[in-house]
């Protein structure tokens, strides 16, 4: 479905005013004066995608044909044949095409404002820091890095370089998830229970997602992070402690990483969540309940086709191009210097929870986050 800016704004109302932008946004005086890394006001931001795998090819590059605040200006790839294909398909000039060896020369390229890191998880830290050193703003895919320590190093590097850092949380700008974030503020005072599950069956046993050194872990890092996010923003608090249990049926395929995990989180207000992730048995839902009301999403974490209902009836919310809205929103934050709820600090919070889940999985105890 086409990205319908007007429909999205109308539905979401005031909270989404950020998205109602002129095609060519102005860069505010305030930021120029603060000597932050700036972009010219008379152009859209040029984005270079690093790592032309499934997500960059199937989602991000097509979404960049729909964006208003940014466009695909460059690529970084280790495969010359891919470079040739992308160059022709997206009309990318030769001097905006880099490989992993000459990547740092991107510092001299004025038509690239943002580096979007879409590499295996273990490479997020390195390429975020190298991009920051090159003076580029960074969009980095989730999970932000392999550990909270790495996340902090990335945050520090971007601060030092005066560039912005955003994590690819595409659901923060998605209407159904915006509604989940509002559930509690709609007058909820009782205990909230959240059930969040995201899992799919993984095929190729040789892919990087099953190698601990490249992925950092299994479905917890890749999919469980969505369930953590949903519980955190539905409840509106940070979890205090977790318990966790893992299950394995295919010991060969999952020799390095976990196969399936259930975990429970306790929140300061007494709220609780129960979550599930797996690379074996699929699941994809978000349920929020109290003694008075409930809210339910199906296909909750999919790129499209999210549907929802509540105790008052079906949700009638638009389907959007999640990646286009995400990248336009991040770009707008760069233009006007506004805060983002998908910052590096947000990515760090998730890694701290994930680390606690892994500790709890091993110890069998309640682990503090
Ligand atoms: P992928 O395997 O399809 O692509 C990875 C890319 O990295 C490939 O182009 C590959 O050539 C390149 N690469 C460079 N060095 C590599 C190495 N040493 N080993 C393997 N590949 C190497 O993966 P993907 O599905 O595109 O995922 C990339 C990142 O994007 C991951 O961090 C993933 O979590 C994230 N992602 C996010 C979403 C989302 O909805 N936000 C969806 C999918 C993937």
Q: Percentage of the chain with pLDDT > 70?
A: 88
pLDDT band at 14 (very low <50, low <70, confident <90, very high): very low
Residue 36 has pLDDT above 60, yes or no: no
Best substitution site from 80, 82, 118 to test ligand 1's pocket, by max atoms within 8 Å of Cβ? 118
Sign, CA dihedral 123-125-126-131, equals positive
Please give the distance, rounded to the nearest whole angstrom, from the Cα atom of residue 54 to the centre of ligand 1: 7
Q: Which of 49, 50, 53 to mutate to test the pocket of ligand 1 (most atoms within 8 A of CB)?
A: 53
What is the Cβ-side half-sphere exposure of residue 123, based on CA atoms within 13 angstroms?
A: 12
Query: How deeply is 213 buried, as exposed, middle or buried, from its count of CB atoms within 10 A (0-12, 13-18, 19+)?
Result: exposed
Q: Which of 15-19, 114-118, 256-260 has the lowest mean pLDDT?
A: 15-19
Tell me the C-alpha distance between 96 and 200, whole Å. Answer: 36
Per-residue pLDDT, averaged over 188-198, amounts to 91
Segment 220-227 mean pLDDT: 98
* Residue 13 Cα to chain centre, angstroms: 23
Q: Point out the least confidently predicted range of 38-42, 153-157, 259-263.
A: 38-42
**pLDDT tens for residues 156-186?**
999 999 999 999 999 999 999 999 999 887 7
Which phi and psi (to 5°) does residue 153 adopt?
-65, -40
Tens of pLDDT, residues 79-106: 999 999 999 999 999 999 999 999 999 9
CB 310 within 8 A of CB 180: no
Quick check: 258 and 220 in contact, CB under 8 A? yes
pLDDT at residue number 42: 56
Tell me how far apart the alpha carbons of residues 146 and 151 are, in angstroms, rounded to a whole number. 8
Strand partners, 226: none
**C-alpha of residue 208 to centroid of ligand 1, in Å:** 8
**pLDDT-based confidence at 289, cuts 50/70/90?**
very high
Residue 207, helix vs strand vs coil: coil
What average pLDDT does this structure show over 228-238?
97
């Amino acid at each position: 479905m086409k990205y319908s800016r007007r429909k999205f704004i109308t539905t979401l109302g005031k909270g989404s005013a950020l998205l109602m932008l002129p095609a060519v946004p102005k860069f505010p005086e305030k930021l120029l004066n603060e000597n932050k890394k700036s972009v010219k006001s008379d152009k859209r931001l040029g984005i270079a995608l690093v790592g032309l795998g499934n997500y960059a090819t199937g989602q991000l590059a097509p979404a960049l044909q729909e964006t208003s605040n940014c466009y695909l200006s460059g690529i970084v790839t280790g495969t010359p044949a891919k470079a040739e294909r992308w160059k022709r398909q997206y009309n990318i000039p030769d001097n905006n095409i880099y490989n992993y060896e000459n990547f740092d020369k991107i510092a001299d390229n004025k038509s690239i404002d943002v580096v979007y890191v879409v590499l295996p998880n273990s490479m997020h830290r390195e390429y975020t820091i190298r991009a920051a050193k090159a003076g580029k703003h960074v969009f980095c895919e989730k999970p932000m890095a392999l550990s909270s320590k790495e996340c902090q190093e990335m945050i520090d590097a971007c601060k030092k370089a005066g560039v912005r850092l955003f994590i690819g949380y595409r659901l923060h700008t998605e209407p159904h998830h915006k509604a989940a974030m509002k559930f509690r503020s709609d007058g909820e005072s009782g205990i909230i229970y959240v059930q969040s599950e995201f899992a799919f069956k993984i095929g190729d046993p040789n892919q990087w997602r099953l190698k601990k050194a490249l992925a950092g872990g299994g479905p917890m890092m890749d999919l469980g992070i969505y369930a953590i996010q949903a519980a955190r923003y539905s409840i509106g608090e940070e979890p205090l402690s977790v318990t966790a249990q893992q299950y394995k049926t295919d010991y060969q395929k999952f020799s390095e990483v976990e196969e399936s995990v259930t975990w429970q989180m306790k929140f300061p207000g007494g709220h609780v969540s129960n979550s599930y992730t797996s690379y074996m048995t699929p699941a994809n839902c978000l349920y929020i309940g109290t003694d008075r009301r409930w809210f339910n999403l199906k296909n909750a974490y999919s790129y499209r086709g999210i549907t929802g209902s509540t105790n008052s009836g079906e949700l009638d919310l638009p389907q959007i191009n999640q990646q286009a809205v995400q990248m336009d929103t991040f770009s707008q934050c760069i233009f006007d210097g506004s805060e983002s709820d998908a910052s590096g600090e947000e990515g760090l919070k998730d890694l701290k929870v994930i680390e606690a889940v892994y500790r709890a999985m091993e110890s069998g105890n309640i682990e503090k986050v």
